[in-house]
């Protein structure tokens, strides 16, 4: 597989995973559901510029990394925040889409930072990541982020 194609596939994988965020105040973008709040986000850049580190054997191999920074928007196009994410290839597949990554990230938002972590498989239509904590307004954050890669849609469900 050409390296340019590999980079493009891994970039999509990292960005789809990376776009999980929680807004500081519920506002019009948060939809309460029982004791949880759901925030709907989309990725800000249609063509992000990730960094790819090919750390092992040439081509996809365990330990390779994708590093991404990008903006986040609400569905109405207003700015929601900024993300930073590192994804490490843990289970290489016959091609990058068939592999599994372990990702950690942080989202800098108006009222603090929220952190996320978990596995990511680019071939999955929808998958979940853990909201692992945060700072400021998010210091007690917990919950789950659902990533719908094909739709560029991220649903963040905060418990409590």
Domain 3-158 grouped into CATH 2.40.480.10: yes
Q: CA-CA distance, 112 to 54, in Å (whole number)?
A: 33
Q: CA-CA distance, 127 to 106, in Å (whole number)?
A: 18
Q: CA-CA distance, 149 to 27, in Å (whole number)?
A: 25
Q: Which residues of the chain have pLDDT under 50?
A: 1-28
How far is Cα of residue 112 from the mean position of the Cα atoms in its chain? 17
For the chain, the structural domain boundaries read 3-158
pLDDT tens by residue, 10-28? 443 443 343 333 333 444 4
Question: What pLDDT does 17 receive?
Answer: 40
pTM: 0.75
| Three-state SS letters, 88-130 | EEEECCCCHHHCEEEEEEEEEECCEEEEEEEEECCCCCCEEEE
Question: What pLDDT does 34 receive?
Answer: 58
């Amino acid at each position: 597989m050409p390296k340019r194609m590999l980079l493009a596939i891994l970039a999509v994988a990292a960005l789809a995973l990376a776009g999980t965020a929680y807004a500081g105040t519920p506002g019009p973008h948060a939809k309460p559901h029982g004791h949880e709040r759901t925030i709907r986000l989309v990725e800000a850049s249609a063509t992000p510029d990730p960094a790819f580190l090919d750390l092992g054997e040439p081509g996809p191999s365990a330990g390779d990394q994708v590093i991404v920074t990008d903006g986040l928007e609400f569905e109405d196009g207003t700015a929601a925040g900024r993300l930073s994410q590192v994804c490490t290839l843990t289970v290489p597949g016959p091609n990058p889409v068939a592999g599994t990554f372990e990702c950690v990230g942080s989202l800098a938002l108006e009222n603090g930072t929220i952190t996320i972590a978990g596995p990511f498989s680019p071939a999955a239509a929808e998958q979940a990541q853990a909201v692992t904590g945060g700072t400021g307004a998010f210091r007690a954050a917990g919950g789950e982020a659902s990533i719908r890669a094909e739709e560029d849609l991220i649903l963040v469900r905060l418990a409590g």
